[in-house]
Amino acid sequence: MSKEKENDMKMITVYIMGKAYKVPFGLTIMKAMEYAGYRFIRGSGCRAGFCGACATVYRRKGEYKLRTALACQTTVEDGMYLAQLPFVPSNRKEYDIEELDPKKNVLSEYYPEINRCVSCNTCTKACPQELQVMDYIQASIRGDYKLVTSLSFDCIQCGLCVVRCPAEITHYHVAQLARRLYGKYYSPVPQHLLDRLKEIEEGKFDSEIEELKKMDAKKLEEVYVARDIQKIPRGEVAGE
């Protein structure tokens, strides 16, 4: 029997919230949990690695290391002990972006805990997006909005860095404020976007929009998948 066929039929044991289940080899953590009978009411969203809702911590049998993952993107391994984190409590500060003075160090003012960072790099190791989280916190301390924006651009706000941080920093809220400040006060005005908005207002795409509105979900999906999409290399800030 081929290795692939053998693997197709292989069942492995995982522990979900402490209870053992036999699940097929090759499933994602999310699918394995569903196979085991769990139904996601919280802790699941896009199922494609974008929304950050499926934060998971796990430990391999006999291993000292507590690992982190997205349940929809990570396949199960034999002997995994799994627990979901459907929500990470964190306080987002209230602010009016129009009233902030970006020349002051707004990030330290609103999130002073960033100055408690001990440079342990645990946040970086926890990040399923492989972002340089510690580096963006260090850039936040210096008030370097552009670097924080660039380093945190792919953050999906899963909260896994937050649960591991000994300084109790809510990294993704800090980064979100930095991106908002950079976007509002420093990023170049995208002329192509202004031109496109003008075209939309002048009705250039009205007939195409009407066509789209008539399509059913399947056709819309086909059109969506076949669209032209601008590729922005990871870590690069749009509009640069």
Contact residues: ligand FES, CB under 6 A: 44-47, 49-54, 70, 72
Beta carbon nearer to ligand SF4, 23 or 52: 52
Instruction: Using CB under 6 A, list all residues that contact ligand SF4.
Output: 52, 117-123, 126-127, 129, 131, 133-134, 137, 155-161, 164-167, 169, 171-172
For the bound state, the minimum distance from the C-beta of residue 123 to ligand SF4, rounded and expressed in Å, comes to: 3
Beta carbon nearer to ligand SF4, 29 or 158: 158
140, 178 in Cβ contact below 8 A?
Answer: yes
Q: Which does 46 bind (CB under 5 to 8 A by kind): ligand SF4, ligand FES, none?
A: ligand FES
Return all residues near 134 (Cβ < 8 A) that are at least 6 apart: 117, 119, 120, 121, 123, 124
Which tokens sit at 2? 């081929």
Beta carbon nearer to ligand SF4, 50 or 185: 50
Q: Which does 45 bind (CB under 5 to 8 A by kind): ligand SF4, ligand FES, none?
A: ligand FES
Return all residues near 237 (Cβ < 8 A) that are at least 6 apart: 146, 149, 150, 153, 182, 187
Q: Which does 169 bind (CB under 5 to 8 A by kind): ligand SF4, ligand FES, none?
A: ligand SF4
31, 53 in Cβ contact below 8 A?
Answer: no
153, 49 in Cβ contact below 8 A?
Answer: no
Q: Which does 44 bind (CB under 5 to 8 A by kind): ligand FES, ligand SF4, none?
A: ligand FES
DSSP 219: H
